[in-house]
A and B are shown apart, each in its own frame.
Chain A
Amino acid sequence: MCLAVPGKIISITGSDSLLRCGRVNFGGIVKEVNLGYVPEAKVGDYVIVHVGFAISTVDQEEAEQVFEYLRQMGDLDELEANTI
């Protein structure tokens, strides 16, 4: 129910801030999405979309965090291994 899918904004239309809309590409499927809740989003950004509304703009640096965390754990493992 709270399923939300990331997609890339390919165009934006509408001047009313609450009814700002965009065409968003979800891996090849393009849908019209309301961008009223992501005033900062611009063409080329990835947004997370739920029932036709973008609810956040994906922070591309933070998107690496899962892998950064893994790398840090890997470094720790090595440190521990070297200590032993």
Chain B
Amino acid sequence: MKFVDEYRGAQEAQTYARAIARLTTRPWTIMEVCGGQTHAIVKFGVDELLPKEVELVHGPGCPVCVTPLELIDKAIEIASRPEVIFCSFGDMLRVPGSSSDLLVVKANGGDVRIVYSPMDALKIAQANPAKKVVFFAVGFETTAPANAMAVFQAHEQGIENFSILVSHVLVPPAMEAILSSSINRVQGFLAAGHVCTIMGYNEYGPIAEKYHVPIVVTGFEPLDILQGVYMCVKQLEEGRAEVENQYTRSVRQEGNIPAQQIISEVFRIVPRKWRGVGEIPQSGLGLSSKYQRFDAEEIFGVADYTAEESPDCISGLVLQGVKKPGECSAFGTSCTPEHPLGATMVSTEGACAAYYRYRGLRARAVAIAGREG
């Protein structure tokens, strides 16, 4: 496949890995923000090509993982109602709520449907005027223009039986939350290439400057990630903290302006709770007042739900790059993709699920050996 396969060459990857090794004089900790990058790193073993001084830690960039528990409970409550067709991206269905998940709702007769795009949910609403069709609008900035377009079109076309349950999160406030934490280990970032395709990267300059961290906007294929690491290590070694763009084939500095316009038309910035992390100010999107009537939380009266997270799950620390999946005593034993304790084990982009799938219990053995060594 063009623009995919050529970025997976083993020989080029080795060349980049050797170049990084030559460049590195001391230990550095770099966080890749996006779950898609985490998945590629573990799948292709990119981290295992790097010199031991360069450690990649995995960031909070998996929207499925950071969707708060009470929002899953709200989804389950809404999806259980007989008048509802509940539409979602597939990976949300197995995320455990307080006592159930959406797959169980489906098994018990709820009309829960997996869709590829929010526009598919809008079509289902048009085809089923007697039903209330709810779309579970999760995602980062990358997905916001698609979800915004569905609401915008519902408004324009007067489709009143459509609504969305919103759990949109924003990347830069989460990076700031990580950097300002007293337990932070991150010295440089690989920023999320598709988030920046939408938003551009002007927002990152003040973060790089304030916290003195290099930020390299990076793509998703192995060579992209290796080049991103190279650029980041080069900055660290030279004492620079700038914003650079590795993923130039997709990302422009100003981002995608038409997409940004529709995001600001439909959404407004709100505080948002992140699963495992807690509330981060100004870190989410909610519907703006003009589009409030499409808010499923209001329509179904579930806005004030609360829930407590499992104390056994360390996914919050994993999401902040403080711990690796194998350092959790539940990893691969009481917590597996079939029976996940926390969301980082559910989504294929969650760090725990990626380690379990590609490394199995070896991840735990490596973590224990690392601690003892």
Contact = CB atoms under 8 A, between A and B. Distances in A.
Nearest to A6: B3
A4 interface: yes
Given A6-B2, A73-B15, A1 B89 contact: yes
Given A59-B248, A59-B249, A50 B140 contact: no
A52 B262 CA distance: 16
Nearest to A76: B19
Contacts of A44: none
A48 B197 contact: yes
B367 to A, nearest CB: 26
Interface of A: 1-6, 8, 18-19, 26-27, 34, 36-39, 46, 48, 50-53, 55-56, 58-60, 62-63, 65-67, 69-70, 73-74
A6 B1 contact: yes
A2 B34 contact: yes
B169 to A, nearest CB: 10
B251 to A, nearest CB: 7
B326 interface: no
Given A2-B195, A34-B149, A37-B258, A58 B227 contact: no
B251 A56 contact: yes
Interface in B34-73: 34-36, 61-64
Interface of B: 1-4, 6-7, 12, 15-16, 19, 34-36, 61-64, 89, 91, 116-120, 138-140, 142-143, 145-146, 149, 152-153, 192, 194-195, 197-198, 220, 223-224, 227, 230, 246, 248-252, 256, 258-259, 262, 347, 349
Contact of B146 (A39, A48, A52, A69): A52
A53 B194 CA distance: 12
Nearest to A27: B1
A73 B149 CA distance: 43
A2 to B, nearest CB: 4
Given A6-B4, A37-B256, A46-B2, A51 B143 contact: yes
Contacts of A70: 12, 15-16
A84 B158 CA distance: 73
Contacts of A55: 142, 145, 194, 197-198, 250, 256, 259
Given A1-B64, A18-B152, A58-B3, 16 more contacts: A2-B140, A6-B4, A34-B119, A38-B256, A46-B2, A48-B194, A48-B250, A51-B143, A52-B117, A53-B145, A55-B145, A55-B197, A62-B249, A63-B249, A65-B249, A70-B16
